[in-house]
Structure 1
Protein backbone atom coordinates (compact mmCIF):
# COMPACT_ATOMS: atom_id res chain seq x y z
CA UNK A 1 0.00 0.00 0.00
CA UNK A 2 1.27 3.45 -0.89
CA UNK A 3 1.94 5.97 1.84
CA UNK A 4 -0.92 8.46 2.09
CA UNK A 5 0.34 11.86 1.00
CA UNK A 6 -0.99 14.78 3.06
CA UNK A 7 -0.52 18.45 2.39
CA UNK A 8 -2.02 21.73 3.51
CA UNK A 9 -2.44 23.02 -0.05
CA UNK A 10 -4.04 21.87 -3.30
CA UNK A 11 -1.33 21.83 -5.97
CA UNK A 12 -2.38 19.33 -8.65
CA UNK A 13 -6.20 19.25 -8.78
CA UNK A 14 -8.39 16.86 -10.72
CA UNK A 15 -12.18 16.61 -10.59
CA UNK A 16 -13.80 13.18 -10.18
CA UNK A 17 -17.53 13.01 -11.01
CA UNK A 18 -19.06 9.78 -9.79
CA UNK A 19 -22.22 8.31 -11.32
CA UNK A 20 -24.52 11.33 -11.60
CA UNK A 21 -27.11 9.55 -13.73
CA UNK A 22 -30.76 9.92 -14.69
CA UNK A 23 -32.09 6.89 -12.80
CA UNK A 24 -30.84 8.29 -9.51
CA UNK A 25 -32.59 11.65 -9.91
CA UNK A 26 -35.64 10.82 -7.79
CA UNK A 27 -33.91 8.44 -5.37
CA UNK A 28 -30.95 10.40 -4.00
CA UNK A 29 -31.28 12.80 -1.09
CA UNK A 30 -31.06 16.41 -2.39
CA UNK A 31 -29.97 15.25 -5.84
CA UNK A 32 -30.63 18.64 -7.52
CA UNK A 33 -28.20 20.30 -5.11
CA UNK A 34 -25.50 17.79 -6.04
CA UNK A 35 -26.01 18.74 -9.68
CA UNK A 36 -25.81 22.49 -9.01
CA UNK A 37 -22.58 22.05 -7.02
CA UNK A 38 -21.07 19.87 -9.75
CA UNK A 39 -22.10 22.39 -12.42
CA UNK A 40 -20.48 25.19 -10.43
CA UNK A 41 -17.23 23.22 -10.15
CA UNK A 42 -17.23 22.39 -13.86
CA UNK A 43 -17.82 26.02 -14.83
CA UNK A 44 -15.27 27.42 -12.39
CA UNK A 45 -12.50 24.92 -13.12
CA UNK A 46 -12.83 25.11 -16.91
CA UNK A 47 -10.51 28.16 -17.23
CA UNK A 48 -8.01 26.33 -15.02
CA UNK A 49 -8.03 23.33 -17.42
CA UNK A 50 -8.55 20.97 -14.50
CA UNK A 51 -8.56 17.31 -15.61
CA UNK A 52 -11.95 15.61 -15.29
CA UNK A 53 -12.54 11.94 -14.59
CA UNK A 54 -16.16 10.85 -14.97
CA UNK A 55 -17.97 7.54 -14.58
CA UNK A 56 -21.41 6.04 -14.98
CA UNK A 57 -22.61 2.89 -13.25
CA UNK A 58 -24.11 0.35 -15.67
CA UNK A 59 -25.44 3.05 -17.97
CA UNK A 60 -27.59 0.68 -20.02
CA UNK A 61 -29.66 0.08 -16.88
CA UNK A 62 -29.23 3.31 -14.94
CA UNK A 63 -29.07 5.85 -17.73
CA UNK A 64 -26.49 8.37 -18.91
CA UNK A 65 -24.94 11.25 -17.04
CA UNK A 66 -27.60 13.88 -16.36
CA UNK A 67 -28.05 16.35 -19.23
CA UNK A 68 -27.35 19.39 -17.06
CA UNK A 69 -23.67 18.44 -17.09
CA UNK A 70 -23.42 17.54 -20.79
CA UNK A 71 -22.52 21.03 -22.10
CA UNK A 72 -19.52 21.20 -19.77
CA UNK A 73 -18.35 17.66 -20.48
CA UNK A 74 -18.64 17.88 -24.27
CA UNK A 75 -17.21 21.36 -24.71
CA UNK A 76 -14.08 21.46 -26.90
CA UNK A 77 -12.25 23.06 -23.99
CA UNK A 78 -13.26 20.38 -21.46
CA UNK A 79 -10.17 18.60 -20.16
CA UNK A 80 -11.61 15.07 -20.02
CA UNK A 81 -8.99 12.63 -18.75
CA UNK A 82 -11.38 9.65 -18.73
CA UNK A 83 -15.09 8.93 -19.22
CA UNK A 84 -15.85 5.33 -18.30
CA UNK A 85 -18.94 3.18 -17.79
CA UNK A 86 -18.37 0.63 -15.05
CA UNK A 87 -19.76 -2.17 -12.94
CA UNK A 88 -17.21 -1.68 -10.18
CA UNK A 89 -18.43 0.57 -7.39
CA UNK A 90 -15.09 2.42 -7.28
CA UNK A 91 -14.28 4.87 -10.04
CA UNK A 92 -10.77 3.45 -10.10
CA UNK A 93 -11.45 0.93 -12.83
CA UNK A 94 -8.58 -0.59 -14.81
CA UNK A 95 -9.19 2.00 -17.55
CA UNK A 96 -8.97 4.94 -15.15
CA UNK A 97 -6.13 3.41 -13.16
CA UNK A 98 -4.12 3.17 -16.39
CA UNK A 99 -4.32 6.93 -17.01
CA UNK A 100 -3.87 8.19 -13.45
CA UNK A 101 -0.56 9.94 -12.74
CA UNK A 102 1.97 7.86 -10.85
CA UNK A 103 2.63 9.26 -7.35
CA UNK A 104 6.17 7.89 -7.53
CA UNK A 105 7.03 10.47 -10.21
CA UNK A 106 7.48 14.21 -9.88
CA UNK A 107 4.08 15.88 -9.89
CA UNK A 108 2.36 12.52 -9.91
CA UNK A 109 0.29 13.01 -6.75
CA UNK A 110 -3.20 14.21 -7.56
CA UNK A 111 -5.40 16.39 -5.40
CA UNK A 112 -8.53 14.42 -6.30
CA UNK A 113 -11.74 16.41 -5.76
CA UNK A 114 -14.76 14.09 -5.61
CA UNK A 115 -18.43 14.79 -6.19
CA UNK A 116 -21.21 12.31 -6.87
CA UNK A 117 -23.06 9.38 -5.42
CA UNK A 118 -23.49 7.36 -3.31
CA UNK A 119 -21.34 8.76 -0.53
CA UNK A 120 -21.11 5.50 1.41
CA UNK A 121 -20.57 3.22 -1.60
CA UNK A 122 -18.98 4.51 -4.80
CA UNK A 123 -17.56 7.73 -3.34
CA UNK A 124 -16.14 5.87 -0.34
CA UNK A 125 -14.54 3.12 -2.41
CA UNK A 126 -13.12 5.62 -4.91
CA UNK A 127 -11.63 7.66 -2.09
CA UNK A 128 -10.06 4.65 -0.43
CA UNK A 129 -8.59 3.44 -3.73
CA UNK A 130 -7.09 6.86 -4.49
CA UNK A 131 -5.62 7.13 -0.99
CA UNK A 132 -4.23 3.62 -1.34
CA UNK A 133 -2.39 4.72 -4.50
CA UNK A 134 -0.83 7.69 -2.71
CA UNK A 135 -3.07 10.49 -3.98
CA UNK A 136 -4.66 13.19 -1.82
CA UNK A 137 -8.47 13.25 -1.75
CA UNK A 138 -10.92 16.10 -1.09
CA UNK A 139 -14.56 15.05 -0.70
CA UNK A 140 -16.94 17.93 -1.46
CA UNK A 141 -19.52 18.01 1.34
CA UNK A 142 -22.00 20.00 -0.77
CA UNK A 143 -21.40 17.71 -3.75
CA UNK A 144 -21.99 14.15 -2.47
CA UNK A 145 -25.11 12.32 -1.34
CA UNK A 146 -26.84 8.96 -0.85
CA UNK A 147 -30.35 7.55 -0.96
CA UNK A 148 -30.48 7.69 2.83
CA UNK A 149 -29.29 11.03 4.18
CA UNK A 150 -27.94 9.41 7.35
CA UNK A 151 -25.41 7.39 5.36
CA UNK A 152 -23.57 10.58 4.40
CA UNK A 153 -22.35 11.54 7.85
CA UNK A 154 -21.17 8.06 8.69
CA UNK A 155 -19.29 7.76 5.40
CA UNK A 156 -17.72 11.22 5.60
CA UNK A 157 -16.42 10.54 9.10
CA UNK A 158 -14.92 7.27 7.91
CA UNK A 159 -13.22 9.03 5.00
CA UNK A 160 -11.80 11.71 7.29
CA UNK A 161 -10.41 8.97 9.49
CA UNK A 162 -8.89 7.32 6.41
CA UNK A 163 -7.02 10.51 5.47
CA UNK A 164 -9.36 12.35 3.10
CA UNK A 165 -10.24 16.02 3.53
CA UNK A 166 -13.95 16.87 3.73
CA UNK A 167 -14.46 20.45 2.58
CA UNK A 168 -16.71 22.74 0.53
CA UNK A 169 -16.83 23.62 -3.14
CA UNK A 170 -16.16 27.30 -2.53
CA UNK A 171 -13.19 26.64 -0.25
CA UNK A 172 -11.66 24.36 -2.88
CA UNK A 173 -12.06 26.87 -5.69
CA UNK A 174 -10.36 29.71 -3.85
CA UNK A 175 -7.59 27.40 -2.68
CA UNK A 176 -6.98 26.38 -6.29
CA UNK A 177 -6.61 30.06 -7.18
CA UNK A 178 -4.49 30.93 -4.16
CA UNK A 179 -4.16 34.59 -5.13
CA UNK A 180 -6.54 37.38 -6.15
CA UNK A 181 -3.91 38.21 -8.74
CA UNK A 182 -4.40 34.84 -10.49
CA UNK A 183 -5.11 35.31 -14.20
CA UNK A 184 -8.44 33.46 -13.88
CA UNK A 185 -9.55 35.00 -10.59
CA UNK A 186 -12.31 37.09 -12.16
CA UNK A 187 -13.74 34.13 -14.08
CA UNK A 188 -13.75 31.77 -11.10
CA UNK A 189 -14.96 34.31 -8.56
CA UNK A 190 -17.66 35.36 -11.02
CA UNK A 191 -19.06 31.82 -11.05
CA UNK A 192 -18.97 31.77 -7.25
CA UNK A 193 -20.94 35.03 -7.11
CA UNK A 194 -23.49 33.86 -9.67
CA UNK A 195 -24.15 30.64 -7.76
CA UNK A 196 -24.11 31.99 -4.20
CA UNK A 197 -27.79 31.27 -3.55
CA UNK A 198 -27.52 27.70 -4.87
CA UNK A 199 -24.39 27.23 -2.78
CA UNK A 200 -26.13 28.47 0.34
CA UNK A 201 -28.99 26.04 -0.23
CA UNK A 202 -26.64 23.13 -0.81
CA UNK A 203 -24.66 23.88 2.34
CA UNK A 204 -27.80 24.24 4.45
CA UNK A 205 -28.97 20.82 3.28
CA UNK A 206 -25.69 18.93 3.10
CA UNK A 207 -23.01 20.45 5.35
CA UNK A 208 -24.62 19.49 8.66
CA UNK A 209 -23.13 16.04 9.12
Structure 2
Protein backbone atom coordinates (compact mmCIF):
# COMPACT_ATOMS: atom_id res chain seq x y z
CA UNK A 1 0.00 0.00 0.00
CA UNK A 2 1.44 3.31 -1.09
CA UNK A 3 0.18 5.20 1.94
CA UNK A 4 2.11 2.95 4.32
CA UNK A 5 5.33 3.70 2.50
CA UNK A 6 5.15 7.43 2.99
CA UNK A 7 3.31 8.05 6.27
CA UNK A 8 5.01 7.73 9.63
CA UNK A 9 3.84 5.54 12.48
CA UNK A 10 3.14 8.69 14.43
CA UNK A 11 0.08 9.28 12.28
CA UNK A 12 -0.98 5.66 12.22
CA UNK A 13 -1.21 5.56 16.01
CA UNK A 14 -3.00 8.88 16.38
CA UNK A 15 -6.60 9.78 15.61
CA UNK A 16 -6.59 12.84 13.34
CA UNK A 17 -8.19 15.85 14.99
CA UNK A 18 -10.36 16.31 11.90
CA UNK A 19 -11.92 12.88 12.51
CA UNK A 20 -12.53 13.34 16.24
CA UNK A 21 -16.18 13.44 17.18
CA UNK A 22 -16.91 15.54 20.28
CA UNK A 23 -20.23 14.94 21.97
CA UNK A 24 -22.05 18.01 23.34
CA UNK A 25 -21.02 18.67 26.92
CA UNK A 26 -18.03 16.34 26.62
CA UNK A 27 -15.10 18.49 25.44
CA UNK A 28 -11.76 16.98 24.47
CA UNK A 29 -8.25 18.18 25.23
CA UNK A 30 -5.70 17.33 22.56
CA UNK A 31 -2.10 17.65 23.68
CA UNK A 32 0.09 19.87 21.46
CA UNK A 33 2.09 18.01 18.85
CA UNK A 34 5.10 20.12 19.85
CA UNK A 35 5.20 18.44 23.28
CA UNK A 36 8.07 16.06 24.01
CA UNK A 37 8.58 13.35 26.61
CA UNK A 38 8.24 14.61 30.19
CA UNK A 39 10.58 12.86 32.62
CA UNK A 40 9.76 12.23 36.31
CA UNK A 41 10.02 15.30 38.52
CA UNK A 42 12.27 13.54 41.03
CA UNK A 43 15.85 12.89 39.98
CA UNK A 44 17.38 9.43 40.28
CA UNK A 45 19.65 10.30 43.22
CA UNK A 46 16.83 11.95 45.17
CA UNK A 47 14.59 8.96 44.51
CA UNK A 48 17.25 6.56 45.79
CA UNK A 49 17.75 8.62 48.92
CA UNK A 50 13.98 8.54 49.50
CA UNK A 51 13.95 4.76 49.06
CA UNK A 52 11.92 4.94 45.86
CA UNK A 53 12.14 2.94 42.67
CA UNK A 54 14.31 4.57 40.01
CA UNK A 55 12.89 4.36 36.51
CA UNK A 56 16.23 4.16 34.74
CA UNK A 57 14.68 3.00 31.50
CA UNK A 58 16.35 1.68 28.36
CA UNK A 59 16.66 4.19 25.54
CA UNK A 60 18.10 4.05 22.02
CA UNK A 61 21.08 5.99 23.40
CA UNK A 62 21.99 3.85 26.43
CA UNK A 63 21.23 0.29 25.33
CA UNK A 64 23.03 -2.70 23.82
CA UNK A 65 21.16 -5.77 22.50
CA UNK A 66 22.53 -9.29 23.03
CA UNK A 67 21.23 -12.19 20.94
CA UNK A 68 22.38 -15.41 22.58
CA UNK A 69 22.33 -18.77 20.77
CA UNK A 70 19.29 -18.29 18.55
CA UNK A 71 20.29 -21.35 16.51
CA UNK A 72 18.28 -23.57 14.19
CA UNK A 73 19.10 -26.77 16.06
CA UNK A 74 18.37 -25.44 19.53
CA UNK A 75 15.15 -23.68 18.49
CA UNK A 76 13.58 -27.06 17.67
CA UNK A 77 13.64 -27.96 21.38
CA UNK A 78 11.53 -25.01 22.59
CA UNK A 79 8.33 -26.17 24.29
CA UNK A 80 6.88 -23.16 26.15
CA UNK A 81 5.33 -21.43 23.12
CA UNK A 82 2.14 -22.38 21.34
CA UNK A 83 4.24 -22.66 18.17
CA UNK A 84 7.82 -22.18 17.06
CA UNK A 85 6.51 -19.70 14.50
CA UNK A 86 5.39 -17.41 17.35
CA UNK A 87 8.80 -17.58 19.01
CA UNK A 88 10.69 -17.05 15.76
CA UNK A 89 8.46 -14.11 14.85
CA UNK A 90 9.21 -12.43 18.19
CA UNK A 91 12.97 -12.87 17.77
CA UNK A 92 12.80 -11.33 14.30
CA UNK A 93 10.67 -8.47 15.59
CA UNK A 94 13.18 -7.74 18.36
CA UNK A 95 16.02 -7.73 15.85
CA UNK A 96 14.12 -5.32 13.59
CA UNK A 97 13.57 -2.98 16.54
CA UNK A 98 17.31 -2.88 17.24
CA UNK A 99 17.98 -2.24 13.56
CA UNK A 100 15.33 0.47 13.24
CA UNK A 101 16.71 2.39 16.23
CA UNK A 102 20.39 1.87 15.30
CA UNK A 103 21.11 0.16 18.63
CA UNK A 104 24.42 -1.76 18.82
CA UNK A 105 24.06 -5.53 18.90
CA UNK A 106 26.22 -8.53 19.76
CA UNK A 107 25.42 -12.01 18.46
CA UNK A 108 26.86 -15.25 19.73
CA UNK A 109 26.34 -18.96 19.09
CA UNK A 110 27.26 -22.12 20.98
CA UNK A 111 28.82 -25.14 19.28
CA UNK A 112 27.41 -24.06 15.92
CA UNK A 113 29.82 -26.36 14.10
CA UNK A 114 28.31 -29.38 15.86
CA UNK A 115 24.81 -30.34 17.03
CA UNK A 116 23.31 -26.91 17.80
CA UNK A 117 23.23 -25.60 14.25
CA UNK A 118 23.88 -22.14 12.87
CA UNK A 119 22.33 -18.80 13.84
CA UNK A 120 18.79 -18.22 12.57
CA UNK A 121 19.03 -17.06 8.93
CA UNK A 122 16.71 -14.11 9.65
CA UNK A 123 19.19 -12.70 12.18
CA UNK A 124 22.03 -13.10 9.72
CA UNK A 125 19.94 -11.28 7.09
CA UNK A 126 18.99 -8.40 9.41
CA UNK A 127 22.58 -8.02 10.65
CA UNK A 128 24.68 -9.07 7.63
CA UNK A 129 27.78 -7.16 8.76
CA UNK A 130 27.74 -8.14 12.44
CA UNK A 131 30.32 -10.54 13.81
CA UNK A 132 28.93 -13.75 15.31
CA UNK A 133 30.99 -14.82 18.31
CA UNK A 134 31.07 -18.61 18.11
CA UNK A 135 31.67 -20.11 21.55
CA UNK A 136 33.13 -23.61 21.57
CA UNK A 137 32.01 -24.97 24.93
CA UNK A 138 31.51 -22.24 27.54
CA UNK A 139 27.78 -22.18 28.28
CA UNK A 140 27.45 -18.76 29.94
CA UNK A 141 28.21 -16.27 27.15
CA UNK A 142 29.40 -13.68 29.67
CA UNK A 143 31.95 -16.18 31.00
CA UNK A 144 33.43 -16.65 27.52
CA UNK A 145 36.58 -14.46 27.35
CA UNK A 146 36.13 -13.56 23.67
CA UNK A 147 32.50 -12.55 24.01
CA UNK A 148 33.14 -10.74 27.32
CA UNK A 149 35.87 -8.67 25.66
CA UNK A 150 33.56 -7.80 22.75
CA UNK A 151 30.91 -6.57 25.18
CA UNK A 152 33.38 -4.65 27.32
CA UNK A 153 34.89 -3.01 24.24
CA UNK A 154 31.42 -1.93 23.10
CA UNK A 155 30.56 -0.60 26.55
CA UNK A 156 33.81 1.35 26.72
CA UNK A 157 33.34 2.74 23.22
CA UNK A 158 29.69 3.74 23.62
CA UNK A 159 29.24 4.27 27.37
CA UNK A 160 26.09 2.10 27.24
CA UNK A 161 25.35 -0.13 30.26
CA UNK A 162 21.68 -1.04 29.75
CA UNK A 163 21.65 -4.56 28.33
CA UNK A 164 18.67 -6.04 26.51
CA UNK A 165 19.18 -9.79 26.29
CA UNK A 166 17.33 -12.57 24.52
CA UNK A 167 18.36 -16.17 24.00
CA UNK A 168 17.14 -19.52 22.84
CA UNK A 169 16.53 -20.70 26.43
CA UNK A 170 15.67 -18.61 29.47
CA UNK A 171 17.09 -21.10 31.94
CA UNK A 172 20.63 -21.12 30.54
CA UNK A 173 21.32 -18.81 27.59
CA UNK A 174 19.57 -15.83 29.21
CA UNK A 175 19.62 -16.33 32.98
CA UNK A 176 23.31 -17.23 33.38
CA UNK A 177 24.73 -14.11 31.66
CA UNK A 178 21.97 -11.98 33.20
CA UNK A 179 23.00 -12.96 36.73
CA UNK A 180 26.67 -12.41 35.89
CA UNK A 181 26.08 -8.97 34.37
CA UNK A 182 23.93 -7.87 37.31
CA UNK A 183 26.86 -8.68 39.58
CA UNK A 184 29.06 -6.43 37.45
CA UNK A 185 26.67 -3.49 37.69
CA UNK A 186 24.79 -3.60 34.40
CA UNK A 187 21.05 -2.95 34.14
CA UNK A 188 19.68 -6.03 32.42
CA UNK A 189 16.38 -6.49 30.59
CA UNK A 190 15.66 -10.11 29.59
CA UNK A 191 13.11 -10.24 26.78
CA UNK A 192 11.08 -13.27 27.80
CA UNK A 193 8.92 -13.66 24.69
CA UNK A 194 11.99 -13.65 22.43
CA UNK A 195 13.52 -16.40 24.57
CA UNK A 196 12.30 -19.97 24.86
CA UNK A 197 12.55 -22.85 27.31
CA UNK A 198 12.52 -26.63 27.33
CA UNK A 199 9.36 -26.43 29.46
CA UNK A 200 7.11 -23.97 31.31
CA UNK A 201 8.81 -25.03 34.53
CA UNK A 202 12.19 -23.88 33.23
CA UNK A 203 10.76 -20.56 32.06
CA UNK A 204 9.01 -19.83 35.35
CA UNK A 205 12.02 -20.71 37.49
CA UNK A 206 14.36 -18.63 35.32
CA UNK A 207 12.07 -15.59 35.40
CA UNK A 208 11.71 -15.77 39.17
CA UNK A 209 15.45 -16.18 39.65
CA UNK A 210 16.36 -13.23 37.41
CA UNK A 211 13.69 -10.99 38.93
CA UNK A 212 14.88 -11.67 42.47
CA UNK A 213 18.41 -10.78 41.38
CA UNK A 214 17.29 -7.39 40.04
CA UNK A 215 16.69 -7.94 36.33
CA UNK A 216 13.70 -6.20 34.76
CA UNK A 217 11.80 -8.63 32.56
CA UNK A 218 10.45 -7.30 29.29
CA UNK A 219 8.49 -8.30 26.19
CA UNK A 220 9.31 -7.48 22.58
CA UNK A 221 6.75 -4.87 21.63
CA UNK A 222 6.40 -3.27 25.05
CA UNK A 223 10.16 -2.79 24.86
CA UNK A 224 9.79 -1.33 21.38
CA UNK A 225 7.23 1.18 22.66
CA UNK A 226 9.42 2.09 25.63
CA UNK A 227 12.43 2.68 23.39
CA UNK A 228 10.43 4.72 20.88
CA UNK A 229 8.79 6.72 23.74
CA UNK A 230 7.12 9.21 21.38
CA UNK A 231 5.64 8.31 18.00
CA UNK A 232 6.44 11.81 16.75
CA UNK A 233 10.18 11.03 16.79
CA UNK A 234 11.84 10.56 13.37
CA UNK A 235 12.50 6.87 14.09
CA UNK A 236 8.75 6.19 13.99
CA UNK A 237 8.85 5.51 10.25
CA UNK A 238 11.52 2.81 10.60
CA UNK A 239 9.72 1.35 13.61
CA UNK A 240 6.63 0.77 11.49
CA UNK A 241 8.09 -2.45 10.04
CA UNK A 242 8.40 -4.57 13.21
CA UNK A 243 5.07 -3.38 14.60
CA UNK A 244 3.26 -4.06 11.34
CA UNK A 245 5.06 -7.20 10.20
CA UNK A 246 5.84 -8.99 13.47
CA UNK A 247 2.93 -7.95 15.69
CA UNK A 248 0.15 -9.29 13.47
CA UNK A 249 -2.55 -8.37 15.98
CA UNK A 250 -1.70 -4.73 15.35
CA UNK A 251 -0.47 -5.10 11.80
CA UNK A 252 -3.95 -6.20 10.77
CA UNK A 253 -5.41 -3.10 12.43
CA UNK A 254 -3.10 -0.91 10.34
CA UNK A 255 -3.78 -2.80 7.12
CA UNK A 256 -7.52 -2.72 7.70
CA UNK A 257 -7.42 1.04 8.24
CA UNK A 258 -5.51 1.76 5.04
CA UNK A 259 -7.41 -0.78 2.94
CA UNK A 260 -10.66 0.90 3.90
CA UNK A 261 -9.29 4.25 2.81
CA UNK A 262 -7.88 2.86 -0.44
CA UNK A 263 -6.24 5.66 -2.38
CA UNK A 264 -7.94 8.44 -0.45
CA UNK A 265 -5.42 10.88 1.00
CA UNK A 266 -5.82 11.39 4.74
CA UNK A 267 -4.28 14.62 6.07
CA UNK A 268 -1.39 14.15 8.50
CA UNK A 269 -2.10 16.25 11.62
CA UNK A 270 1.61 16.42 12.46
CA UNK A 271 2.48 18.29 9.29
CA UNK A 272 1.97 22.07 9.09
Distance 1:34 1:199 in 2: 17
Provide, for residues 3-36 of structure 1, a one-character-per-residue CA deviation record: whole Å limited to 9, x for no partner.
Answer: xxx6431131111111111212321123432221
| Paired residues for 1:44-193 under 5 Å | 44-61=97-114, 62-74=116-128, 76=129, 80=130, 82-86=131-135, 87-92=137-142, 93-101=144-152, 108-193=159-244
- Structure exhibiting the larger radius of gyration computed from Cα positions: 2
The TM-score with structure 2 as length reference comes to: 0.63
- Is the Cα–Cα contact under 8 Å of residues 71 and 168 in structure 2 kept in the other structure? no
**Which sections of structure 2, spanning at least 5 residues, go unmatched?**
1-53, 252-272
Greater displacement, 137-146 / 28-37? 28-37
2:154 & 2:184 partners in 1: Cα distance?
A: 7
| TM-score, length basis structure 1 | 0.80
Which SS does the other structure have where 1:24 is aligned? helix
Aligned counterpart for 2:247 among listed residues 196, 200, 207: 196
Q: CA deviation at 1:60?
A: 1.3
Correspondence for 1:38: 91
Aligned pair in 2 of structure 1 residues 45, 107: CA closer, same or farther (>3 Å)?
Answer: closer
Report the secondary structure of 2:234's partner residue.
coil
Q: Shift in Å at residue 101 of structure 1? A: 4.2
Deviation at 1:139, TM superposition (A): 0.9
Work out the CA distance in 2 between the residues paired with 1:112 and 1:34.
Answer: 21
Q: Size of the alignment, in residue pairs?
A: 190
